[in-house]
Structure 1
Amino acid sequence: MERRDPIVRRVDREKKGFESFSHPLNPERSQMRGFSLSDAVGLTRIAVHLAVLPPGKESFVYHSHAVEEEWLYVLAGRGRIEIDGELRELVAGDFVGFATPSAAHQLRNPYGQDLTYL
């Protein structure tokens, strides 16, 4: 197995660029850009993505997890997350973690600037 460089440099990430994607069950409202940091360094048991949620968009459909835990950390901008039917505000520096079985959740960006998060 080839060993990958364990460091992802910002300059290299910017050269490669972000991929655009949306959730197939919600393609009109779910539109994001992202870069898989974990794939870049060969991690197989944890996923870490740098994601940008544009203004007026949603991350994925409202969902929960039975097996895999999920977390996010807001780097820039602000957003709203729905957790079990309750909308809560998020700003840069906020962390959200979902242990399994998780509460249903969905991230949204109703504001006028990008929401950037891990």
Structure 2
Amino acid sequence: MSQAKTRPVVSLSTLELDRWEQGTLYESADISFGKQMGLKGLGISYNEVPAGKSSCPFHNHHVEEELFIILEGEGTYRFGDERLPFKAGDVLGAPTGGRETAHQIINTGATVLEYLGVANNAETEVCEYPDSGKFQVSSRIDANRRLRHCGREGQNHLEYWDGEPGA
């Protein structure tokens, strides 16, 4: 089986972005391109977020650390209990942890916000979403698939032995 040729140099201007929208707050045009460069342990994405929107809910990671490099625009970095202004040229960090490291990038500027997102690619991850009380657990099955479960603690939760023969 042949492997796709990797490109050690990628031009942001030639990337084909995936455009999507969810509800009234979330909208983005983005693409992950680390695999194109042959990166296995490091993920990188390019993101364009319109004014007044965010590309993801407020969340924190238990395993993956993230770094955001602001290329164009400005906004507010919601981090823990703080709301911090940022602008082009700033770098935002999102270490692992609990609610104190929960984060969300919101474009509060008047133009499109452009940034790079960089993260270590964990095989297994747990994310929490403090605003909605949800959590998500995921595990990489192969290069193109993840096993995911999203829920709320105490809801739709099965006991460990539930349904097991002879238990």
- TM-score, normalized by length of structure 1? 0.83
Letter in 2 for 1:44: K
Letter in 2 for 1:58: S
More strand by share: 2
More helix by share: 1
> Identity over the aligned pairs, expressed in percent?
28
Q: CA RMSD, aligned part only?
A: 1.8
More contact order relative to length (CA 8 Å, sep ≥ 6): 1
Determine which structure has more spread, i.e. the larger CA radius of gyration: 2
Number of positions where the alignment pairs a residue of Structure 1 with one of Structure 2: 112
Match of 1:111 in 2: 109
Mapping for residues 1-118 of structure 1, pairs under 5 Å = 2=3, 3-10=5-12, 12-13=14-15, 17-22=16-21, 27-101=23-97, 103-118=101-116
- TM-score, normalized by length of structure 2? 0.61
Name the SS for the 1:55 alignment partner: coil
Letter in 1 for 2:90: D
Misfit runs of 4+, over 6 Å: none
Name the SS for the 2:26 alignment partner: coil
**Matches of 2:107 and 2:59 in 1, distance apart?**
17
**Matches of 1:45 and 1:54 in 2, distance apart?**
29
Given that 2:17 and 2:29 are in contact with CA atoms closer than 8 Å, whether structure 1 keeps it comes out as: yes
Structure 1: any 5+ residue segments left out of the alignment?
A: none
Name the SS for the 1:113 alignment partner: coil
